[in-house]
Chain A
């Protein structure tokens, strides 16, 4: 179509709140579209765990920061003729705009494919954009652009409180919020201006419906809206924080098509070639509307729309960027009809965000106009009740649907309803139980009554089910109705058996299942075909529903399919790395000649792209649903080890129901998962581990700590309101923790283990075949133990580990692999002090670091693992970690700036939302690249150090000297300044925030006089709101880079004082 032969695609970097896996999916689709056209592709994305940065997707991959400097260097080197900016989220878009404005694109004659940059800039500048829309008679909220706090105040007075504040040029509503008075406005605008020089003060449309359209336009001006979506939560809650349904449910034809028409007018007037998203507020009492936002790029919503409809938006957008017309492209589901059409759905989807707010100390649970969720799920059903109950189960928070949950109690329903938190939907259920009617819930929530009536249907059926005490009493009609309302067998068991089913075990679930099947009440497999069955489609995109009477497909039942279980919602501790693993497993299954079957429900993933497997079941990863699918498929086997913890937990349960599990035998998986069994096994085979005990009374805990000494790691098995595991250093802390944060009893015991100070943490990632290790990688954490492995900075190959340590680790791993008869991937975490090695954890599944080590070593561990699980005999590769002459460093990405008030400190509980992995010729190069990739900047001049306890003070001494030697100005708090002075290092004093004296740490950070904050917490306890917290939080809120670990701070300082940014090599993955 064009004479462009080489195109550069910008990725979105590490996963963060507001920018997650959806861009791996859209980037992968775009690269596939270009490849089909024979165009060479170059990808820049430091996110090493993504599918798009895998072999065979782009021609050249650079694991480098998506920043103007690096992108320019790559353009200079690769000389692409075109660049794609719309597939890497706001990160890529902002970077592209900067390259355009600085003239780099012009200088190297790089053409922006698709939507012109000018059009993008126009949509990003809210005031300009409002003007443009007004010129074509399209309404936007009354809004005044301001560049100062006083201006914002007078604007708010003109519009009238409440108002909404929005910062321009930010991701997912960062720096935005509602203000009902002057005080709130001052506070919020202060913060918003730290993100952007321009903010908008807008009229509040709280309570209006929020509706989005995904709009596509080609160069011939042909336009379609692929999908519309309606938020369950009315305006005021960020769309990323809302439950969303597609298509809209409460809009009449006239409303639907009026907004559609406006969307098309907008996309035409902006001149987008490709895809954009238009968000509307719609008055619930008339057809009045406002355009809230236009995103001139692929977005989270577009990924959702693609999965909701089967229409591959990113793929099509990439083709349109090359000059195709929509009518010239095929519908990739039917393969016979055209891509110029709008999908007709004969089902509905429900997206529910996944939050992990419990992982953070101090964060507000309230949800609002800025995004806090870390992932999402999409449930497909044929009515709202079915979809929402499926979706709530999918979020993986231990809930069983809208009803049938225990341990969810709200003290003040009214507050819960009117001030939404992540748990609001369950407060609605409790309100129904307490006799609230739809109208009063509506008054508090402004959620459309239609949605509330549907929830009430579910709630009322609970009473119907509860009126029976035995399955045999239950009329078939009632049972079928329950299934159509999305009740799981678990919920039904719990409601029928009541107190008799305290734990509701697999036995009771199975009783319901068997009874149900004997009555012919089974789920039906339906296709997603984009045209509501109007045209035949051999689509493999499937879901299950009880609203049916036939399957759309025929099951071969020939034992030649392999089911790969996916990883569910992205959350802290489980994200794109498991998508990479699952996708790679599918690819190997395909190559081996089996039919690959995927089960997953995360719309942000590549594994849920129906192109990737022979059959995609976009459905629950529950015991019930997995069993349903396994019974229909009768597969050769099920792979449970490439999708993280969810499938791993299903292994034993499925095995008991005679579902063939591939790889390590399930009883050994259980042996590794069960703390007691695993520990006993280690003792038996003579492998050392930190002393630990499961204890059920406070006195037992004290007795244990007397014996082993402090510090200890305390892990409650039942987590109350946010308190998870913690390291405690003395008796007082322990007492405090046990009374405040956790509940200890026979029913809720606590695991206490000895915690080693200053121990190195080392990881072994490996693949074994019937107990024999075939491939392995040993990597080393930069931080000492105490930082969760997901938050640690990891180097591979290890750089500072004794050869003897490595030898011992290999030996222990071999012993464990053999004992557990491991076939497939596994990961063991070790503590090492001197050559003293202790095992702290072992997982018989792919780990978070597997894509990283696979890509650094250029050995696909998943491919090996999958071949082994399929029964193939594989040769050991003749390459090991000792053979590579470069280094990979994996660094975590944090999203604290999104999580208002959360303490940005690292501990034993994971807090990072994503990661990057960069390669370098030496350690310092790799670490610098990776830290720049997660948003650190090399400081210009001023560095604030408060160095915490004596250990970290000493750790930082050399690096402080290097800073001074390199002309940096150190600012220090009292103790640190004293320590530095005693060691002959000059620094300037800054007072602690509560000393209320200038020069003060807080004001220096706020005024951006500091380029880097190093704040080491005094101890490992999660401190209360104190000075350290204020300093750390100020750094995050005013966007100043922050490091809270002394070893990492040292490593970073060593790196940037030794290497200049210009010296970093610009090498593609293939060049290593």
Chain B
């Protein structure tokens, strides 16, 4: 897109770097933590992923907006083509913007959507240079300045999960297996995946006391920020992991399970945010491509007795999943539900359901 018709705006990083771009979204300033994602598709999904809460997102793929933004059709009580009801990023930084989009499923342009959701977006920035700064110096705070000057803001000091989790229990579906889903900022595609099986999904707030709920399997969702913020969830989980009921956790859900089991988490320098993270199932030659979006990770050397690493990242050897030695509990750091990203590990949902079936058989 030629920048001549767009107003200039700036991006300022905590380290003092400053970039000038052109505003194509909402014309208002924003601050947050700046992170990058190297995926080449899936901006409508990423922008609505609650795990991005509080973050200014840099997309390294240079041409964004090509296929517009889908319409807001509802399916199973969720927006059909998004990962939540709203955009969760605080700002979007890209290189080139396609104001003219084309797709049979598009309802509006990316710029118009950002305006509607009051999220600023800048194009015309050297996103590769920006990515290298983040890679070298680590994730940092940043602010987008359009007119009003605003201070830096560190989202990791807030309980972001509380901001994105639902406030009231919701039930989806009416199937045989009752799954209790702890919503720390769940992506809709996780619920969609669970509903593909014969399930009832009971979605509860992150700090909900579910001890009185009747369920066959416990699921802990993804979500934003530092896992240690979710103290209530960890307390609840400590009880659950001592039981025989199957448990499956994804991303933040994996970290919270690990914390409940006694492992430690740490902040990665710049996180894993891409569609091409390779993970190996420990002890096998089976490798999978995974979609990831996390800034914190479980320390491999902190894994307590009774627990085993399930997957490892082939690039940096970081932990990508845990499983319990004897009980049907397993977790992944990556996103088997994809959306956006590769679907290689979708079979894990099937594994979870099988574990539930097995557990129910045992109950009888």
Contacts and interface: CB of A to CB of B under 8 A. Distances in A.
Q: Is chain B a partner of chain A in the same complex?
A: yes
A751 interface: no
Interface of B is mostly: loop
Interface string A448-469: 1110011011001100100000
B305 interface: no
Interface in B29-65: 36, 38-42, 44-45, 60-63
Contacts of A256: 40-41
Contacts of A249: 63, 66
Contacts of A552: 128, 132
Interface extent on B, as a size class? 35 or more
B286 A222 contact: yes
Interface string A522-561: 0010100001111110000000000111101000000000
A534 B131 contact: yes
B2 A485 contact: yes
Interface residues of A, number: 67
A457 B95 contact: no
Contacts of B126: 524, 547-550
B101 to A, nearest CB: 7
A841 B62 CA distance: 48
A461 B128 contact: no
A250 B274 contact: no
Given A327-B280, A346-B127, A251 B41 contact: yes
B339 interface: yes
Contacts of B44: 252-253
Interface in B321-361: 338-344
Q: Most chain-A Cβ atoms within 10 A of its Cβ — which of B2, B70, B104?
A: B2
Given A285-B104, A327-B287, A346 B128 contact: yes
Interface in B125-156: 126-129, 131-132, 135
B287 A346 contact: no
B38 A346 contact: yes
A342 B128 contact: no
A345 interface: yes
A531 B135 CA distance: 12
A224 to B, nearest CB: 6
A993 interface: no
B276 A250 contact: no
A348 B45 CA distance: 22
Interface stretch (A72-80, A273-281, A333-341, A824-832): A333-341
Contacts of B129: 548-550
B105 interface: yes
Given A251-B41, A346-B62, A346-B128, A341 B341 contact: no
Interface string B190-234: 000000000000000000000000000000000000000000000
Q: Most chain-A Cβ atoms within 10 A of its Cβ — which of B60, B63, B343?
A: B63
Contact of B63 (A383, A464, A536, A550): A383
A453 B99 CA distance: 9
A326 interface: yes
Nearest to B272: A534
Nearest to B284: A220
Nearest to B315: A337
A977 interface: no
A355 interface: no
B285 interface: yes
A345 B275 CA distance: 11
Contacts of B239: none
Q: Most chain-B Cβ atoms within 10 A of its Cβ — which of A343, A460, A548?
A: A548
Contacts of A220: 285-287
A382 interface: yes
Interface string B171-204: 0000000000000000000000000000000000
Contacts of A526: 128
Interface string B274-304: 1111101000011111000000000000000
Contact of B4 (A222, A264, A345, A481): A481
Contacts of A524: 126
Contact of B285 (A257, A325, A343, A532): A325
A340 B61 contact: no
A328 to B, nearest CB: 8
24 contacts: A220-B287, A250-B67, A252-B67, A253-B42, A256-B41, A257-B342, A261-B342, A338-B278, A341-B289, A344-B40, A346-B95, A346-B127, A347-B62, A382-B96, A450-B101, A453-B98, A484-B96, A526-B128, A532-B128, A533-B128, A534-B274, A549-B126, A550-B129, A552-B128
A-B pairs, top 7 by smallest CB distance, nearest first, are: A253-B42, A453-B100, A344-B38, A532-B38, A253-B340, A449-B102, A532-B60
Interface of B: 1-4, 19, 36, 38-42, 44-45, 60-63, 66-67, 70, 81, 95-96, 98, 100-105, 126-129, 131-132, 135, 274-278, 280, 285-289, 314-315, 338-344
Given A220-B286, A534-B131, 20 more contacts: A220-B285, A252-B44, A252-B70, A253-B341, A284-B104, A325-B287, A336-B315, A338-B314, A344-B40, A382-B63, A382-B95, A450-B67, A450-B100, A453-B100, A456-B100, A532-B60, A532-B61, A534-B135, A548-B126, A549-B129
Interface of A: 220-222, 224, 247-254, 256-257, 260-261, 264, 284-286, 325-327, 336-338, 340-348, 382-384, 448-450, 453-454, 456-457, 460-461, 464, 477-478, 480-481, 484-485, 524, 526, 531-536, 547-550, 552
